[in-house]
């Protein structure tokens, strides 16, 4: 039997997304439940993949199936594609499995040619409309299918308007269009070397190929990388008979969400344009009317539409994002899909739907993407700061949050400055898919045109990025790289601040404040806690971070880096004295001066954590990180230490390393200078004893020895820790529950985990370093090739963000199995940055770790991700 | 039943080495076969280990067993230890499982005290002898057991001689000795706070503890590290009734080898001293007589001794190293052991013994240590150079080979300068166990005193290191750091050259030449080839190296590094032009200029190898290794390239990396600049086609892609290689047998070896980098902690010399198994420096690799080591 590559809408349903793509499956589903959907058919994603297998050719078999279905469509509509009398016109749209707004290309009015345009004119009794359609079609086809720069067409249109002295497009008449169409055709001939195709079936095949090709364009790849969508899914193509929203004032087109996608409020939310085609709304070229106003303009259609919207939400049990067109008073549904929403809205909708009994708690949890929560955890502007500042302009609050940064006007400028560590705001008249890279890199987006469903707004909300759209008070000149508000000019590099919740734009940098974890958000996370089995700890080095993390639900500290404590001003001199000392005696004296500071650090952290466990990593970085390297700083240090410049310089030079990542650091420092760890342990255990004895806190320190690669390192240093601990505890009548364990971050440690586990009470996977060593990628240097690797899809995701399961993950699994084999009670955790990454958290759950540890602001994300993992891997 | 910790000599035999140590087992064996051995007993190595387990205490149980056996010895000899009338005196000697010359401590004449010295005087009718023995005993006991610096005793002796106006020790009389003994006792009291022990049993326990302790002294640990002896074997202690070689002119002592240990010649070889104790020969204080002369001095003893020597060699089936003492005309055997020998002698003795039917070929192979062969493969002095030079002095040719270097007079100076990359010669009046570290680090050793069996000679031969000993023409002043020959002074840092084959010492550096692989050596290696299953290839980057390796028996090239070819003067500018080019076009042009050079390189190497396989690694190092970093060099380069200094400096700075080991190198270069590998492949395949077509050589190139960590790297670059290869071969009517494989050097590659093996035809383990990444040790930086790690025995051996079997080895094994699982015909090799290390070769054999690859001069070593592995793992 021959593989089926094409389905009529009435043959499909919403479960067939993998084949039909999201759009196609939902068109079929709407058809199935009796909604008014123009007829059409879908070419499957398998056809797209086969197209690539066949060397970017649509096979004869597939072409045959397409033409069969076209004939069926012609039969159903009683029209023939491109018939000069009564032409069937179709739209050709992409439809991937996961919704990718604006990323794929669309062609409308396909089937028009020099003959059928006349048929359309007669049929609609509107010659001007027909010729407008035709010139739009050539323009869109030229741009999207033939890849001719759009401005070449725009220039002709603008030229004609200028020549005739018109101000508006609506002033153009049939003769103008006839002339414009001739010019357009000439452009095609000049640019491509062939005539604009007149054969409608040829037009269609061209367009289908263009959709297939667009699956692999750079914008699509960037979007998929950002959104974790695999690159090998392919896209479907939907061929649908056209309906026209631009047939005069009884026609129109619109987009609506069944609830407010910014706030989650349960009210219809959307926009429409009278006498317009769908793309006009999304492109943000004209500013549309609010959906409520449809009530006044077309009362019947409005009622019908609200009923359809309710039906769709009830049917899909989730907020829907709907596109519709009204052709001469008749409503047609062109698309429905799950509506993208802000994290805030996602939480509210999910909780509301549980409370109204529509979905279960587990479903609610799965409705909110952990990575989205980031948005709720980003600081907002300090109300005090806002009070003092008056906005320079106000736009639409298109995506919530607060952001400040230097303004840039081109995607590549944002990307470049972001790489240099600048905070950036992308400012554009309007955004288009070409701007994706800059939108990813920017802290916030400001546009002069476009509504709440414009490209900028939709994409920014998807990314959880602050966006102010349609800010018509500003004038943007991308060429000259400035924007103007009244008389005031803001140049590239000037700071502005955006408030995505109010739509306000401020000059300069505004202070931000933290957000609290309350209401629906707190409720949802409490459901997550009920479901998850993986513990969530935090990486925190200061009492302040520790308190924040506890507020966000951290169940302990998974990584407290002790070296950060060494850098503060009153300590660094003694740290340097210790490092540069020539004798053990000198070193001991310098360490003695550091001891009280370290003890205070630990008391602060223990207090913040209470009875929760605190994993403290003993000194890890190479010593040269603590000493200055510039001549004047070295001179100052020499003076402070009472040494000669030459001596200090010599000592510092001796500390330098070729590959510091693989050098004298971690437990290797303690193997050569055990007195450093000894001081740290004294500080830890004196602090612990103080907290327990004097403050009544039953602290639970867990001492972690970093960079262990050999059993003897661990046993020797465990001995040292134990000796100090037992001595300090022994001087009291307390018992103190403490553990000694190690980081698994050197590949060798994973390989001998069975040995180490005999002595260690816990392992914490330091997957940052483990990734560097297992892959042989220096994080500091991989910028030279990693972007190329991601582009070439060698790695699907940056292995420093999401754990490389086939490589690093294999070592982690091996270490877990080996470790538990010899020590069944071994506690396993992860403290690399992967501990806050949802995909990696799923891996940790499956691998059987006891907990993940991440930065304080990612704790809620990890709680939700751990719940997702528990539900998905049931 | 109680564990037995003590054995009388008659209870043991030579198979009991593990318990009795080498010396004890052989004393027992000699007793067994009826040789004249003074009675005694051995305290086992288990007792030594128990001593450490018990916290450096001899348990009561063990003390009890020792005293039991002492009583039995007293019964047997009819004397009591320290009896004032007729005292039993004993020697206390260490005896480890593996012979460790001079490393462990010995005490003679134990049992003497103020009372028994009188008994000895009466018994021997020689009062002076008795008091000399007593003062020697206190001195030795003070030095070895009580660890009082020897010079303190020497000062008393020298003082007495000076006071009395004596020149020789023999002038000292009983009164002098009585005074000296008093002074010696005062030293002990002053230094230790207690009286010199008078109780003989207490003396014995003190001495046994000292032997046990000496097992763990620094010298012993260094020796064991150098000789691959595990640190946990422990030492036995031998208590033996004394015989005296210093009882006048009918007494004496000597050492002899049953064959010549330098040349292997089958003649008795040794030395003796009349009226001396054994230590006098070994210590090199007096220059002894040749063993042949014993024939004249004591004809009967000589005949008896030659018979004993023959009997021992026949019994042990190997060359023996024998110690004997003659007491008043009666011969006693004090030790026999397998004689240490030069590599040259080892080969000759082994081959001779096979030819005389004493041992099998396999036994012969096992008799020669692979690491020893190094000695035979080191360059000798160029005869032309020697002809032109006249020696400044001549000593004994104590250990063959040739060496030059800067002279240093202290072990620690040699070690330090060696670390800085200097070639060093250790020059001493005589060496002692304290000098081991310097002897390990030196290229050669020169001593002013001592014979062919002196400490310097024995240890140097064991190490395969050139040594000229007993060079009495030179005067060495260690304090002032110079040596003098006549009027000429050689200061620290001056160059000299040593010829260990002739004993000549030259001023300055002499040119060296290569040695050939002929005669017995070639024969032995041919036997090795018959036995081994592991292939032996070489790492060679030039036709010259390749030719040398083939001469030494290499069966192919396992690693040809293509980057070394980039450095020569006429190419480096184009290499730099390529690296610094701003556009692909510029890069292509620079590469085009390099192509003919690379092609010539490969033609040269293919010619040298003939039909043997040649594994060529494509460019590996980071590009910054090819560009200059000093300002003036950058200026010159900018001028040569016609660029500004600022531009070139900017480009070079951009290439710098924080951790170059983990940076943009290996196949990552080709993922970003495929044109580099493309040029290299064109060069390789054009060279191959030329060799096959025009020269009729059926070349077998194997293209190796370095630093692969991800499957997609391999598939992409394999595709590139194949495209070039197929195109170039396709233009001819030839078939060409080529392979494409990868280095496994990134840990991740080992983890996904099953995937890679689906596409790769061979793996070559790059264990240098694999060790760096698996252990997290930068080879460039590990000098800061690795010495400490070796000292603390964290790693038994430097993991860059001998493969770390538990860590890196585990990854190698895993990769082999995974790889063969998906590709049964996968060829497996190793090309890290471990490929030339015998222990690692044994690992490679066991792991089932197809071949090892090592530097040309290590090829014979690898052939023998592979044979050892095959025999031992049968």
Q: What angle do CA A183, A188, A189 make, to 5 degrees?
A: 95
Q: Which of B232, B662, B666 to mutate to test the interface with A (most CBs of A within 10 A)?
A: B662
| CA A427 to chain CA mean position, Å | 20
Long-range CB pairs of B642-650 (<8 Å, 24+ gap) are: B643/B580, B648/B580
Query: Which comes out higher in pLDDT, residue A89 or A435?
Result: A89
Q: Does A621 touch chain B (CB under 8 A)?
A: no
Q: Does A231 touch chain B (CB under 8 A)?
A: no
d(CA A72, CA B478): 106
What is the tens place of the pLDDT at every residue in B518-528?
A: 889 999 999 99
Q: Cβ contacts of residue B54 below 8 Å, gap of 6+?
A: none
What is the tens place of the pLDDT at every residue in A767-783?
A: 999 999 999 999 888 88
In three-state form (DSSP H/G/I as H, E/B as E, the rest C), the secondary structure along A340-385 is CCCHHHHHHHHHHHHHCCCCCHHHHHHHCCHHHHHHHHCCEECHHH
B204 pLDDT tier (thresholds 50, 70, 90): very high
Q: What angle do CA B786, B792, B796 make, to 5 degrees?
A: 75
Active-site residues of A: which are they? 455, 831
A720-734, B88-102, B176-190, B391-405: least confidently modelled range: B88-102
Q: In chain A, pLDDT over 90 holds for what percent of residues?
A: 69
d(CA B207, CA A848): 57
Q: What angle do CA B193, B197, B203 make, to 5 degrees?
A: 125
Are the beta carbons of B712 and A792 separated by less than 8 Å? yes
Statement: residue A280 has pLDDT above 80: no
- B471 classed as catalytic: no
Q: Is the dihedral of CA B236, B241, B247, B253 positive or negative?
A: negative
What is the tens place of the pLDDT at every residue in A492-541?
A: 999 999 998 889 999 999 987 767 788 899 999 999 999 999 999 999 98
B598–chain A nearest CA distance, Å: 26
d(CA A344, CA A340): 11
Listed residue (B40, B37, B23) closest to B97, CA to CA: B23
d(CA A510, CA A696): 42
Going by DSSP bridges, is the β-strand pair B252-257/B235-241 parallel, antiparallel, or unpaired? unpaired
Statement: residue B282 has pLDDT above 60: no
What pLDDT, on the 0 to 100 scale, is given for residue B514? Answer: 64
d(CA A616, CA A560): 5
Listed residue (A41, A40, A45, A142) closest to A100, CA to CA: A45
What single-letter DSSP state applies at residue A233? S
8 Å CB contact between A160 and A176: yes
Residue A621 has phi, psi (to 5 degrees) of: -75, 160
CA dihedral B801, B802, B807, B813 (to 10 degrees): 120
Q: What angle do CA A51, A52, A55 make, to 5 degrees?
A: 95
Query: Which residues of chain A have a CB within 8 Å of the CB of B662?
Result: 659, 661-662, 772-773, 776-778, 781-782
Residue A525 has phi, psi (to 5 degrees) of: -70, -30
Statement: residue B774 has pLDDT above 80: yes
In three-state form (DSSP H/G/I as H, E/B as E, the rest C), the secondary structure along A387-427 is HHCCCCEECEEEECCEEEEEEECCHHHHHHHHHCCCCEEEE
- For residue A261, give the 3-state DSSP assignment: coil
What is the tens place of the pLDDT at every residue in A595-637?
A: 999 999 999 999 999 999 999 999 999 999 899 888 998 999 9
Query: Which residues of chain A have a CB within 8 Å of the CB of B778?
Result: 657-663
d(CA B826, CA B763): 7
d(CA A218, CA A791): 9
B703 pLDDT tier (thresholds 50, 70, 90): very high
* Max CA separation in chain A (angstroms): 102
What is the tens place of the pLDDT at every residue in B811-851?
A: 999 999 999 999 999 999 999 889 999 999 999 999 999 99
Are the beta carbons of A662 and B664 separated by less than 8 Å? no
State whether ipTM is beyond 0.95. Answer: no
Cα within 13 Å of Cα(B352), Cβ side: 16
8 Å CB contact between B442 and B399: no
What pLDDT, on the 0 to 100 scale, is given for residue B432? Answer: 81
Q: Which helix (H) or strand (E) holds A289?
A: strand A289-290
- The overall average pLDDT reported for chain A is 91
What pLDDT, on the 0 to 100 scale, is given for residue B430? Answer: 86
What single-letter DSSP state applies at residue B568? S
| CA A170 to chain CA mean position, Å | 41
Q: Cβ contacts of residue B513 below 8 Å, gap of 6+?
A: B379, B380, B381, B382, B383
What pLDDT, on the 0 to 100 scale, is given for residue A373? Answer: 87
Q: Does B660 touch chain A (CB under 8 A)?
A: yes
d(CA B209, CA B51): 9
Statement: residue A284 has pLDDT above 60: no
8 Å CB contact between B471 and B446: yes
What pLDDT, on the 0 to 100 scale, is given for residue B284? Answer: 56
8 Å CB contact between B634 and B680: no
d(CA A361, CA A582): 63
d(CA B702, CA A780): 34
- Count other Cβ atoms within 10 Å, centred on residue A99: 21
B103 pLDDT tier (thresholds 50, 70, 90): low
Q: Which of residues 714-733 of B touch A (CB under 8 A)?
A: 716
d(CA A664, CA A579): 13
A460-464, A694-698, B112-116: least confidently modelled range: A460-464
- The overall average pLDDT reported for chain B is 91
From B378, B410, B455, B868, active-site residue: B455
* Max CA separation in chain B (angstroms): 102
Query: Which residues of chain B have a CB within 8 Å of the CB of A746?
Result: 774-776
H-assigned helices in B331-410: 343-355, 361-367, 370-377, 383-388
Statement: residue A471 has pLDDT above 70: yes
8 Å CB contact between A395 and A469: yes
What is the tens place of the pLDDT at every residue in A621-631?
A: 999 989 988 89
A459 pLDDT tier (thresholds 50, 70, 90): confident
B240 to A328, B31, B256: CA distances (angstroms): 121, 12, 21
d(CA A757, CA A823): 6
Q: Does B671 touch chain A (CB under 8 A)?
A: yes
Statement: residue A464 has pLDDT above 80: no
Q: What angle do CA B724, B617, B656 make, to 5 degrees?
A: 105
8 Å CB contact between B23 and B337: yes
Listed residue (A688, A689, A747, A749) closest to A713, CA to CA: A749
d(CA B117, CA B110): 11
Query: Which residues of chain A have a CB within 8 Å of the CB of B657?
Result: 778, 780-781, 784
| CA B508 to chain CA mean position, Å | 26
A745-759, B371-385, B631-645: least confidently modelled range: B371-385
d(CA B158, CA A385): 92
What pLDDT, on the 0 to 100 scale, is given for residue A282? Answer: 57
Q: What angle do CA A221, A222, A227 make, to 5 degrees?
A: 95
| CA A657 to chain CA mean position, Å | 37
- B831 classed as catalytic: yes
d(CA B165, CA B2): 59
Q: Does A792 touch chain B (CB under 8 A)?
A: yes
What pLDDT, on the 0 to 100 scale, is given for residue A662? Answer: 94
What is the tens place of the pLDDT at every residue in A82-97?
A: 999 889 999 999 988 8
Q: What angle do CA A635, A638, A643 make, to 5 degrees?
A: 140
Q: Does B176 touch chain A (CB under 8 A)?
A: no
From B48, B424, B466, B831, active-site residue: B831
B699 pLDDT tier (thresholds 50, 70, 90): very high
């Amino acid at each position: 039997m021959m593989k089926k590559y094409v389905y009529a809408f009435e043959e499909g349903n919403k479960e067939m997304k993998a084949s039909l793509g999201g759009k196609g499956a939902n068109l079929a589903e709407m058809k199935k439940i009796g909604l008014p959907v123009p007829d059409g058919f879908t070419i499957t994603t398998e056809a797209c993949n086969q197209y690539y297998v066949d060397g970017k050719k649509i096979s004869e078999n597939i072409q045959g199936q397409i033409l069969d279905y076209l004939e069926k469509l012609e039969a159903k509509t009683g029209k023939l594609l491109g018939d000069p009398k009564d032409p069937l016109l179709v739209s050709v749209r992409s439809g991937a499995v996961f919704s990718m707004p604006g990323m794929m290309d669309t062609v409308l009015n396909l089937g028009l040619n020099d003959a059928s345009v006349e048929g359309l004119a007669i049929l609609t009794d509107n010659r001007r409309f027909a010729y407008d359609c035709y010139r739009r079609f050539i323009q869109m086809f030229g741009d999207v299918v033939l890849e001719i720069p759009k401005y070449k067409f725009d220039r002709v249109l603008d030229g004609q308007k200028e020549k005739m002295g018109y101000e508006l497009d609506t002033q153009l008449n049939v003769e103008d269009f006839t002339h414009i169409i001739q010019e357009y055709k000439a452009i095609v001939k000049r640019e491509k070397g062939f005539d604009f195709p007149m054969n409608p079936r040829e037009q269609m095949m061209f367009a289908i190929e263009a959709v297939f090709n667009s699956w692999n364009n750079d914008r699509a790849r960037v979007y998929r990388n950002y959104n974790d969508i695999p690159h090998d899914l392919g896209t479907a193509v939907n061929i649908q008979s056209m309906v026209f929203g631009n047939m005069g004032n009884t026609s129109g087109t619109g987009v609506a969400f069944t609830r407010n996608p910014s706030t989650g409020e349960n009210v219809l939310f959307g926009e429409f344009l009278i006498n317009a085609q769908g793309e006009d709304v999304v492109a943000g070229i004209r500013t549309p009317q609010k959906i409520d106003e449809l009530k006044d303009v077309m009362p019947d259609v409005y009622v019908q539409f609200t009923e359809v919207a309710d039906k769709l939400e009830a049917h899909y049990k989730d907020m829907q994002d709907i596109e519709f067109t009204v052709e001469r008073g008749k409503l047609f549904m062109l698309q429905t899909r799950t509506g993208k929403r802000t994290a805030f809205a996602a939480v509210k909708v999910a909780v509301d739907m549980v409370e109204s009994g529509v979905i279960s708690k587990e479903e609610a949890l799965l409705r909110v993407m952990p990575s989205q929560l980031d948005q709720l955890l980003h600081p907002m502007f300090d109300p005090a700061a806002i009070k003092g500042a008056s906005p320079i302009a106000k736009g639409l609050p298109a995506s919530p949050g607060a952001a400040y940064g230097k303004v840039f006007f081109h995607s590549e400028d944002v990307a470049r400055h972001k790489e240099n560590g600048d905070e950036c705001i992308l400012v554009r008249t309007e955004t288009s898919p070409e701007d994706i890279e800059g939108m990813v890199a920017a802290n916030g987006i400001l546009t002069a045109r476009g509504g709440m469903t414009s490209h900028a707004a939709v994409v920014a909300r998807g990314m959880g990025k602050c966006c102010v759209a349609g800010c018509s008070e500003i004038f943007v000149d991308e060429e000259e790289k400035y924007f103007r508000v009244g008389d005031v000019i803001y140049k590239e590099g000037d700071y502005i601040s955006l408030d995505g919740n109010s739509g306000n734009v401020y000059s300069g940098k505004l202070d931000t404040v933290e957000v609290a974890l309350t209401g629906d958000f707190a409720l949802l996370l409490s459901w997550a806690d009920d479901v998850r089995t993986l513990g969530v700890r935090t990486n925190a080095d200061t009492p302040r971070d520790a308190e924040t993390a506890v507020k966000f639900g951290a169940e302990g500290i998974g990584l407290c880096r002790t070296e950060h404590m060494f850098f503060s001003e009153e300590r660094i001199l003694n740290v340097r004295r210790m490092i540069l000392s020539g004798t053990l005696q000198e070193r001991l004296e310098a360490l003695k001066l550091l001891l009280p500071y370290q003890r205070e650090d630990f008391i602060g952290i223990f207090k913040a954590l209470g009875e929760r466990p605190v994993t403290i990593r003993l000194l890890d970085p190479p010593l040269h990180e603590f000493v200055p390297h510039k001549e004047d700083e070295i001179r100052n240090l020499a003076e402070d230490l009472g040494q000669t410049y030459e001596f200090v310089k010599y000592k510092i030079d001796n500390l330098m390393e070729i590959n510091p990542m693989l050098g004298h650091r971690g437990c290797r420092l303690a193997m050569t200078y055990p007195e450093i760890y000894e001081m740290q342990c004294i500080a830890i255990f004196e602090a612990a004893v103080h907290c327990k004895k004097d403050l009544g806190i039953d602290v639970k320190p867990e001492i972690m020895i970093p960079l262990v690669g050999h059993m003897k390192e661990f046993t020797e240093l465990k001995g040292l820790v134990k000796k100090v601990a037992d001595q300090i505890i022994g001087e009291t009548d307390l018992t103190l529950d403490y553990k000694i364990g190690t980081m698994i971050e050197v590949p060798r440690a994973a390989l001998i985990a069975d040995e180490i586990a005999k002595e260690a009470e816990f392992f914490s996977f330091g997957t940052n370093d483990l990734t560097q060593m297992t892959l042989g990628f220096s994080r500091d240097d991989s910028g030279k090739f990693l972007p190329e690797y991601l582009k070439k899809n060698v790695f699907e995701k940056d292995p420093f963000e999401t754990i490389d399961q086939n490589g690093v993950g294999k070592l982690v699994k091996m270490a877990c199995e080996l470790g538990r084999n010899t020590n069944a009670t071994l506690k396993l955790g992860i403290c690399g940055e992967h501990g806050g990454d949802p995909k990696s958290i799923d891996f940790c759950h499956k691998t059987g770790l006891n907990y993940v540890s991440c930065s304080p602001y990612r704790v809620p994300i990890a709680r939700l991700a751990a719940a997702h993992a528990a539900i998905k891997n049931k």
